[in-house]
């Protein structure tokens, strides 16, 4: 069994009307089956409101299923006594860095999680140092977080998760507020954690360029998983993605447009190098 597994997962939330005008149930997730193997890099795409954040919040038990079940490393997330255990295994990073940093000094912020679960002090410092080193922020350990750029803050938030020694890290649009360099640094950090440390990564994003390295891409619509496959498979389906309010990387789009105009190119070209190579071999 994989590290993250959802079986026929459904989630309802109650929407209350104005002035007690009654309430209605809204199904945010429906019939979601998911099986993620340890060490994989998974990307989740979907338009605003497609249910991807709701799914992500199930992975560390911020939400529990209305129907069906979610298992993290073999633990059912609906068992309340395992809550802290689950959250130690699966850490989350959110969109806005300013909402998730609480310490007044970088290293204190990173140490908050381990301290909270009772890790002995010398061990906390070891973990803090190690975590900051892994995200490339060790030089900033004594700084105040508000002196950092957005990308640096997100890397501190990732370090906070890494210090908990998680099996898996879930990132919900971690780059939405960042400039190009910040975006690059954050994605690079996540990829290194995944490749070198074997941490399972789940990345939710609206930047199509960020997912071309993923092992698998999951596309959500109306609370369901509607497409699943390698980046190449998914990005070969340009029209379907556009119908789902999504897009493809610019390079893929250019290749697709050229192909439509009669240039013999393969489907799902993902990188600049591939496209340049393919075009040069034509001339």
Partner 1 sequence: MLIELKDVSYLYSRDTVYEVRALDHVNLAVEEGRFIGVIGHTGSGKSTLIQHMNGLMKPTEGHVFFEGEDIWAEKYDLRKLRTSVGLVFQYPENQLFETDVLTDVMFGPKNKGLSETEARERAVSALKDVGVGEKHFKTSPFELSGGQKRRVAIAGVLAMDPKVLILDEPTAGLDPRGRDEILGRIQRLREERGITVILVSHSMEDVAEYADRLIVVNNGKIPYDGSPREVFSRYEELEGMGLAAPEITYVMHELRRRGFPVDVTADTVAEAKESILKELKGGRKRA
Q: Which residues bind partner 1 (CB under 8 A)?
A: 18, 46-49, 95, 149-151, 173, 176-183, 206, 208-209, 242, 245-247, 249-251, 253-254, 257-258, 261, 263, 272-273, 275-276, 279-280, 282-283
**Toward partner 1, which CB reaches closer, 182 or 268?**
182
Structure tokens at 189: 């950090």
**Toward partner 1, which CB reaches closer, 12 or 82?**
12
Q: How far is the CB of 103 from partner 1 (least distance, A)?
A: 20
Structure tokens at 273: 């190098």
Burial environment of residue 102 by CB neighbours within 10 A (0 to 12, 13 to 18, 19 or more): exposed
Q: How far is the CB of 38 from partner 1 (least distance, A)?
A: 30
Pick from 83, 71, 95, 61: which is nearest to 171 by CA? 95
Compute how many other C-beta atoms are within 10 angstroms of the C-beta atom of residue 39.
16
End-to-end CA distance of the chain: 49
Owner of token pair 């806005």: 96
Q: How far is the CB of 249 from partner 1 (least distance, A)?
A: 7
Distance from C-alpha of 202 to C-alpha of 193, rounded to nearest angstrom:
12
**Toward partner 1, which CB reaches closer, 122 or 280?**
280
Q: How far is the CB of 139 from partner 1 (least distance, A)?
A: 17
Please say whether the beta carbons of 70 and 76 come within 8 A.
yes
**Toward partner 1, which CB reaches closer, 124 or 157?**
157
**Toward partner 1, which CB reaches closer, 82 or 267?**
267
Q: How far is the CB of 198 from partner 1 (least distance, A)?
A: 30
């Amino acid at each position: 069994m994989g590290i993250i597994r959802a079986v026929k997962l459904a989630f309802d939330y109650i929407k209350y009307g104005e002035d007690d005008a009654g309430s209605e149930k809204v199904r945010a997730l429906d019939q979601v089956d998911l099986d993620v193997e340890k060490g994989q890099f998974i990307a989740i795409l979907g338009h605003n409101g497609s249910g991807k954040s709701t799914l992500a919040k199930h992975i560390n038990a911020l939400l529990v299923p209305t129907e069906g079940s979610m298992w993290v490393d073999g633990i059912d997330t609906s068992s309340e006594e395992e809550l802290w255990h689950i959250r130690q295994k699966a850490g989350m990073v959110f969109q806005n860095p300013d909402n998730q940093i609480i310490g007044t000094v970088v290293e204190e912020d990173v140490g908050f999680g381990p301290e909270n679960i009772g890790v002995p002090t010398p061990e906390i410092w070891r973990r803090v140092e190690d975590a900051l080193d892994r995200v490339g922020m060790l030089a900033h350990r004594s700084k105040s977080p508000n002196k950092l750029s957005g990308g640096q803050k997100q890397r501190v938030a990732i370090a906070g998760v890494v210090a908990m020694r998680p099996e898996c890290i879930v990132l919900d649009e971690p780059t939405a507020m960042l400039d190009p360099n910040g975006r690059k640094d954050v994605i690079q950090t996540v990829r290194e954690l995944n490749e070198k440390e074997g941490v399972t990564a789940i990345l939710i994003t609206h930047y199509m360029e960020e997912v071309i390295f993923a092992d698998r891409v999951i596309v959500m619509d109306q609370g369901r998983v509607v497409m699943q496959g390698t980046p190449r498979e998914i990005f070969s389906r340009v029209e379907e993605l556009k119908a789902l309010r999504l897009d493809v990387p610019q390079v893929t789009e250019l290749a697709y447009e050229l192909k439509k105009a009669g240039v013999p190119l393969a489907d799902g070209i993902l990188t600049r190098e591939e496209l340049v190579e393919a075009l040069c071999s034509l001339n």
